Amino acid sequence: MKVVIDGLGGDFAPEEIVRGVIEARKTGGPEIIITGPENILEKEFSEAGGMPAGVEIHNTSQKVEMDEPPSKVIKEKKDSSLVVGARLVKEGKGQAFISAGNTGAVMASGIFIIGRLKGIDRPGIATPIPGEKKMSLLIDAGANADCKANHMLHFAYMGKLYMEKVLARKDPKIALLNVGHEAQKGSKLYQEAYSLLKTGDLNFVGNLEGRELFSEQCDVLVCDGFVGNITLKVTEGVAQTIITMLKNEVGRSVKAKAGALLMKGALKSMKNRMDYEEFGGAPLLGLQSPVVICHGSSKAKAIKNAIFVGAEIVEKKVIEGLGQLL
Amino acid sequence: MKVVIDGLGGDFAPEEIVRGVIEARKTGGPEIIITGPENILEKEFSEAGGMPAGVEIHNTSQKVEMDEPPSKVIKEKKDSSLVVGARLVKEGKGQAFISAGNTGAVMASGIFIIGRLKGIDRPGIATPIPGEKKMSLLIDAGANADCKANHMLHFAYMGKLYMEKVLARKDPKIALLNVGHEAQKGSKLYQEAYSLLKTGDLNFVGNLEGRELFSEQCDVLVCDGFVGNITLKVTEGVAQTIITMLKNEVGRSVKAKAGALLMKGALKSMKNRMDYEEFGGAPLLGLQSPVVICHGSSKAKAIKNAIFVGAEIVEKKVIEGLGQLL
């Protein structure tokens, strides 16, 4: 099995991508094809201690910028590390594609180059939500700004299968993110989604509110991509604001500074629990081969973990399972 | 000027409502009518040191439960503290209505008893978002689960007027909550809302992402009520989760406990900045008289502040201003 990774995707590419690839190989990860300009990648590998066995470079000449429109990327950047990476997976040279590059372009490459799974209109991004004891999955975290209720039903099936196969959760609990617990709550779209989820072959536990995001009451939390993206980014913003506020308050007094020093271990352990990097990336589910979308600011650890996520989706046959379910 | 308050609304009614009323009168607040069973309220006042001048009790016999459907409340609870409170405002006996009771029923009473302002299809809840230096307003925070783009334009006008008149902000910056900064981002609804906001007579500064909620880049942040409610509740959930995590981590080590003790001032000052009670309540704008919706868990301080919010909307003629704008 081989995983393909975009060597130029992300704010810290290619350095952190190369380091992540090396880490993955060191810790029993799959074989890897890395896309990008050969000379640059070779230099990075040699600076990082040499290219490990089981890694090959696939030379490409173009680079995708973080803010380029996806349609332009697909049309005009055919020899970019991103588009070529997706194409290698489409051609069967690799079984999963990983990128920390332009999220819209990664999604578009997944959908238009690798292709949708039969029966799935809208692939969805599944993002891990850390709880105190276990993680859950938010799907769709931003692939589809406009959804229909049956797309949301598909998100539920995809999430269920991922949790069953990759995380060995038995009969995963599916919930709908909504503005209240009662069945009739929310917009027309959410009322309709509630009905579909309830009658589907799912362990549907009902609606959960925004404040229950970390409450570990479900394994898979379903929403449309617009709401999912707002939810994730608000979470990021609140966490960042609280950390900044705490830092500022601490800066104002010597006593508080001493206190913060004593609490350092506790604060660090808290930060680890919220740490995006631990999870690697968010799989885009519903495609013929898995694509793992990494945060633009991913460093080596996140990249390594994303490589393992991609490999696991292949090994545990999540996609074959989804094909059978639909 | 008189403000009417629901004496039985909220988890801590009537005790905290009565204490809030006393606080408001002590600190120069408006005259107040409090609705509820006379004997119960009289007892509360006498236990709290006596009923201040400028406060009168309006006797009612029914109580609205927190989970009763709004339509049922309006039809079957005509002599409840909530419905009677709204009616007193409709009849001109008071100029603003405050309640910490069943949010849906408070909204319904506002819309169906007090009535919408001419030209406004959908009143919106305006919730204060605390920043480090100044607060901004999120509107609609949950009154309308299904919105059209022109409703969102109206939310912008309402927010603008509130910020200008009540908070004396000059030419308030209006932004749209969205999944990216570019004009073409988001769902069809948000793309259309963007166009309307851009061409409206507004200081429109464009889209803001969820992570920029506390970034103080705008005075008024517009969204539909479904997204607004999710945004607020996710914020609440994340803040609560971080505080709990910090507490748990601290519990694990003596060193961390000592540190937390030293940091106490910093943590308290942080908590104050996030404190819902400081702001009192969220005005429901777009009605013929203002309604202020308080958190169900409001205590005296929040109630007192909500009374001032209601009075200020009347004094600063926010509603007359909105009538002229449309």
pLDDT in tens, A153-190: 999 999 999 999 999 999 999 999 999 999 989 999 99
**pLDDT tier, A62 (very low <50, low <70, confident <90, very high otherwise):** very high
Share of chain A above pLDDT 70, in %: 96
Give the pLDDT mean for A246-261: 77
Distance from CA of B183 to the nearest CA of A (A): 13
Task: Spell out the domain ranges in chain A.
Answer: 1-120+286-326, 128-277
Mean pLDDT of B121-143: 91
Q: How many angstroms separate the CA atoms of B96 and B270, rounded?
A: 32
Q: Which of A221-225, B82-86, B120-124, B266-270 has the lowest mean pLDDT?
A: B266-270
**What is the pLDDT averaged over residues B94-103?**
96
Q: H or E segment at B58?
A: strand B55-59
8-state DSSP, A116: B
pLDDT for A272 = 66
| Whether pLDDT at A268 is above 90 | no
Nearest CB to B226 within list A186, A249, A255: A186
- Chain B: nearest CA to A212, how far in angstroms? 6
Question: Percentage of chain A surpassing pLDDT 90?
Answer: 77
The count of CB pairs under 8 A between chains A and B is 181
Contact residues on chain A for B263, CB-CB shorter than 8 A: 250, 255-256, 259-260, 263
pLDDT at B249 over 80: no
Q: Is the domain defined by B1-120+286-326 classed in CATH 3.40.718.10?
A: yes
Supply the pLDDT for residue B87: 98
Instruction: Using the predicted structure, report yes or no on whether residue A326 has a pLDDT greater than 80.
Output: no
Is residue A18 very low, low, confident or very high in pLDDT (cuts 50, 70, 90)? very high
Please determine, for residue A204, whether its predicted confidence score (pLDDT) is greater than 90: yes
Q: What pLDDT, on the 0 to 100 scale, is given for residue A106?
A: 96
Mutate: best of A151, A178, A230, partner B, most B CBs <10 A: A230
Residues of A in contact with B214 (CB under 8 A): 237-238, 241
Pairwise pLDDT comparison (A280 vs A38), residue with the higher score: A38
More confident residue, A59 or A272: A59
Give Cβ neighbours of residue A286 (< 8 Å, ≥ 6 apart): A116, A117, A120, A122, A123, A124, A154, A158, A322
Model pLDDT, residue A220: 98
Interface test with A, best of B152, B177, B212, B226 (most A CBs within 10 A): B226
- In chain A, whose CA is at the least distance from the CA of B274? A242
Do residue A239 and residue B235 have CB atoms under 8 angstroms apart? no
Q: What is the mean pLDDT of residues A11-23?
A: 97
Select the residue from A211, A236, A254 to test the B interface by mutation, using most B Cβ atoms within 10 A: A211
Q: What is the pTM of this model?
A: 0.91
**Stretch B267-283: mean pLDDT, rounded?**
70
**Considering only CB atoms, which chain B residues are within 8 Å of A177?**
230
CA distance B213 to chain A (A): 7
Of A188, A260, A263, the CB nearest to B146: A188
Nearest chain B alpha carbon to A259: B259
The chain-wide mean pLDDT, for chain A, equals 92
- Alpha-carbon distance A295 to nearest alpha carbon in chain B (angstroms): 14
Q: Distance (Å) from the C-alpha of residue A131 to the closest C-alpha of chain B? A: 9
- Rounded to the nearest angstrom, the minimum Cα separation between B191 and chain A is 11
Q: Look at strands A31-36 and A55-59 and give their pairing.
A: parallel
Would you call B145 and A190 a contact, using CB atoms and an 8 Å cutoff?
Answer: yes
What's the rounded Cα separation, in Å, for the pair B289 and B302? 20
Q: Confidence class of residue A206 from pLDDT cuts 50, 70 and 90?
A: very high
Least confident of A66-80, A305-319, B211-225, B256-270: B256-270
User: What is the pLDDT confidence band of residue B162, given thresholds at 50, 70 and 90?
Assistant: very high
Instruction: Supply the pLDDT for residue B99.
Output: 97
pLDDT at res. B265: 73
Alpha carbon of A66: minimum distance to chain B alpha carbons (Å): 13
Nearest-Cα residue of chain B relative to residue A268: B249
Q: Is the pLDDT of residue A122 over 80?
A: yes
Give the mean model confidence (pLDDT) for residues A132-146.
Answer: 92
pLDDT at B55: 98
The residues that bridge with A127 in the sheet, in sequence order, are: A138
A232-241, B18-27, B289-298: least confidently modelled range: A232-241
The pLDDT score that the predictor gives to residue A256 is 77
Is the pLDDT reported for residue A82 higher than 80?
Answer: yes
Residue in A212, A237, A246 closest to B213 by CB: A237
Asked if A236 lies within 8 A of B263 by C-beta distance, the reply is: no
- Given a cut of 70, is residue B7 above it in pLDDT? yes
Question: What is residue A280's three-state secondary structure?
Answer: coil
Contact list in B for residue A185 (CB cut-off 8 A) is 145
Nearest CA in chain A to B238: A235
User: Which residues of A are less than 8 Å from B273 in CB distance?
Assistant: 245
| Alpha helices by DSSP H, chain A | 15-26, 38-47, 70-76, 81-90, 103-109, 149-165, 188-199, 225-251, 254-273, 300-315, 318-325
Q: Which residue of A has its CA nearest to B259?
A: A259
Q: What is the pLDDT of residue B270?
A: 61
Mean pLDDT of A34-46: 98
pLDDT digit string, tens, across residues A93-118: 999 999 999 999 999 999 999 999 99
Q: Enumerate the residues of chain A whose CB falls inside 8 A of the CB of residue B227.
A: 226-227, 230
Domains B1-120+286-326 and B128-277 share a fold: yes
- A8 against A268, higher pLDDT: A8
Does A61 score more than 80 pLDDT?
yes
pLDDT of residue A265: 73
Nearest 10 degrees: Cα torsion B288, B293, B299, B300: -10
Task: Give me the mean pLDDT over the B287-296 stretch.
Answer: 94
The superfamily in CATH containing domain A128-277 is Isopropylmalate Dehydrogenase (3.40.718.10)
pLDDT at residue B259 in the model: 77
Percent of chain B at pLDDT above 90?
Answer: 77
Neighboring chain B residues of A239 at a CB cutoff of 8 Å: 238, 242
With contacts defined as CB-CB under 8 Å, which chain B residues touch A259? 258-264, 266
Q: Could you report the predicted ipTM of this complex, rounded to two decimals?
A: 0.90
| Banded pLDDT at A261 (limits 50, 70, 90) | confident
The pLDDT of residue B276 is above 70: no
**Which residues touch B187 (CB under 8 Å, ≥6 apart)?**
A145, A146, A226
pLDDT score, position B278: 67
Q: Which long-range contacts (CB under 8 A, 24 or more apart) does A236-240 make?
A: A236/B210, A236/B211, A237/B210, A237/B211, A237/B212, A237/B213, A237/B214, A237/B215, A238/B213, A238/B214, A238/B234, A238/B235, A238/B238, A238/B239, A238/B242, A239/A274, A239/B238, A239/B242, A240/B211
- Mind telling me how many Å the CA of A274 is from chain B's nearest CA? 9
pLDDT exceeds 90 at position A47: yes
pLDDT digits (tens, 9 = 90+) for B217-243: 999 999 999 999 999 999 888 888 877
Mean pLDDT of chain B: 92
